[in-house]
Amino acid sequence: MGASDTYDVVVIGAGPVGENVADRARAAGLATAVVESELVGGECSYWACMPSKALLRPAAALADARRVAGAREAVTGELDAAAVLARRDGFTSHWHDDGQADWVKGIGADLVRGHGRLDGPRRVLVDTAEGGRLVLTARHAVAVCTGTRAAVPDLPGVAEARPWTSREATGSHTVPGRLAVVGGGVVAVEMATAWRALGSAVTLLVRGGRLLPRMEPFAGELVAEGLARAGVDVRTGTSVAELHRPGGSGPVTLVLGGGERLEADEVLFATGRVPHTADLGLETVGLEPGSWLDVDDTCRVRGVEGGWLYAVGDANHRALLTHQGKYQARIAGAAIGERAAGREPDTAPWGAHAATADHAAVPQVVFTDPEAAAVGLSAAEAERAGHRVRAVDQDLGAVAGASLYADGYRGRARMVVDEDRGVLLGVTFVGPGVAELLHSATVAVAGEVPLDRLWHAVPSYPTVSEVWLRLLEAYRG
């Protein structure tokens, strides 16, 4: 860091979101400091997106081979767990952040290592990694990009049980013989998929009645079937009452809601996320420590006098996904630059400085087997929002390209149509390899492409994308 402790912009958190805010601020010619207490690159690079997908990809590749006659006969063994874990380590750069730290410096931003917290308007107090203390002052903006941390329920025995969270689940260097996974959301089903493929005996404990409750019901149903086929013991309507792990080592015993006991070598709690804002000094600017930060479409925090505080990414609770956080960062960084130049940013719907997609076109892929991919609103969400909708379904296995992709292909697609405007509000695909279908749906939803125009976007034959033609045919009758 240079001699000056005053910057145009101070970014707290150097994950992908903070990096993108800094990049856009620097592109606007603003002097920028980035404060990071852990690894530059954040959760996604070292404990979430990258390592989890590195664990899941070998399982998907093996499953794809086994679904095609002629290829399945060539598959003579199981995954090499050591090789999978070593490949995972490569994608995390072995938990070293030199490359990403150099990138921050390369854009002309100053990297400050240490724990940053607000200390009144436009001030950030940093306890540095070397044991010192710095005060950084921002002329224009402070951006909070601290993300979230795993939520672990306060159950009897949970501290002694030393449960896994998503970090241990993506970073473990050994394969547990028996793994209990508590939760029914994305992290739970993906980690159940990965560790079962690596050889663990996995039990998935879901308090609710179905998996992936925020997606169309059929998504959770097909993913549950896939997990069961892989050998995962899926138990819905099951809660955990307490845990026992005497001395904090050896097997852990889970006492379930009905009194049944389940023994495992490790237990993963994938039961949601909470904002990483408890020790951020929010109270010094009139906000509640540990709270989600309410923002407008430029990611500026509401209720802070002077409009200098921004919260970008997971901390604002708009869409807890890396790609949405990076999208918000591009919007927020540009808006900060506009305001610093004395111009009002374009915040009209779908304007250059409005994170409108957070409301209408959020895409997400669940990398299980089968994959589940969705964008926009489910049919139930659209109806609750007051839209007059029609849901159109298609058996993906009946599409020629899908039948070539895998023998006995099982999958389903749904598009949710706004009947009054003739545009798509949401699309969901479930099946092997559907992740790469999702961006076409995202373009259609975000672009509000009329169905009459979409009819002229001709899918190539024979590809899985031909499902678009079948869905439109079904809609037209």
Question: Are 377 and 425 within 8 A, CB to CB?
Answer: yes
User: Do the bridges between strand 178-182 and strand 266-269 make them parallel or antiparallel, or are there none, so unpaired?
Assistant: parallel
Least Cα distance to 464 among 404, 402, 413 occurs for: 402
Residue 131 or residue 295, greater confidence: 295
Residues 310-324: pLDDT tens digits? Answer: 999 999 999 999 999
Least Cα distance to 250 among 230, 237, 266 occurs for: 266
Least Cα distance to 270 among 370, 164, 193, 198 occurs for: 164
Name all contacts of 255-261 with Cβ < 8 Å and 24+ positions apart.
Answer: 256/205
Residues 98-148: pLDDT tens digits? Answer: 999 999 999 999 999 999 999 999 999 999 988 999 999 999 999 999 999
- Residue partners of 97: CB distance under 8 A and separation at least 6: 39, 40, 41, 45, 46
Residues of the chain above pLDDT 70, percent: 99
State the pLDDT at residue 272: 95
CA distance 372 to 343: 42
CA distance 112 to 256: 46
Residues 408-457: pLDDT tens digits? Answer: 999 999 999 999 999 999 999 999 999 999 999 999 999 999 999 999 99
Q: What are phi and psi of 352, to 5 degrees?
A: -65, -25
CA distance 437 to 241: 41
Tell me the pLDDT band of 350, cut-offs 50, 70 and 90: confident
329 residue type, one letter: A
3-state secondary structure of 288: coil
CA distance 107 to 25: 10
- Residue partners of 68: CB distance under 8 A and separation at least 6: 406, 407
Q: Is the pLDDT of residue 2 over 60?
A: no
State the pLDDT at residue 129: 85
Q: What are phi and psi of 70, to 5 degrees?
A: 100, -40
Q: Which two tokens stand for residue 61?
A: 């590749």
pLDDT (average), residues 176-194: 98
Q: Is the pLDDT of residue 4 over 80?
A: no
Least Cα distance to 11 among 2, 21, 26 occurs for: 21
Least Cα distance to 18 among 124, 94, 120 occurs for: 124
State the pLDDT at residue 477: 83
State the pLDDT at residue 1: 44
Q: Which two tokens stand for residue 42?
A: 């954040």
User: Do the bridges between strand 309-311 and strand 133-144 make them parallel or antiparallel, or are there none, so unpaired?
Assistant: parallel
Q: What is the mean pLDDT of the chain?
A: 96
Q: Is the pLDDT of residue 3 over 60?
A: no
CA distance 165 to 176: 14
CA distance 471 to 390: 12
CA distance 46 to 315: 19
- Residue partners of 415: CB distance under 8 A and separation at least 6: 391, 392, 424, 426, 427, 441, 471, 475
State the pLDDT at residue 322: 97
CA distance 14 to 41: 6
State the pLDDT at residue 349: 85
Q: Provide the β-strand partners of residue 117.
A: 125
- Domains in the chain: ranges and CATH: 6-41+97-149+274-357 (3.50.50.60), 158-271 (3.50.50.60), 370-476 (3.30.390.30)
Least Cα distance to 459 among 394, 365, 374, 406 occurs for: 394
Residue whose pair of structure tokens reads 């237990």 in the numeric block: 267
Give the number of other Cβ atoms within 10 Å of residue 392's Cβ.
Answer: 19
CA distance 445 to 269: 34
State the pLDDT at residue 72: 96
CA distance 326 to 147: 12
Sign of the torsion angle spanned by Cα atoms 27, 326, 440, 71: positive
CA distance 287 to 149: 19
CA distance 391 to 218: 13
CA distance 314 to 424: 26
Nearest-5° angle of CA 24, CA 28, CA 29? 120
Residues of the chain above pLDDT 90, percent: 97
Residue whose pair of structure tokens reads 């603003």 in the numeric block: 30
CA distance 328 to 148: 16
pTM over 0.85? The answer is yes
CA distance 441 to 109: 36
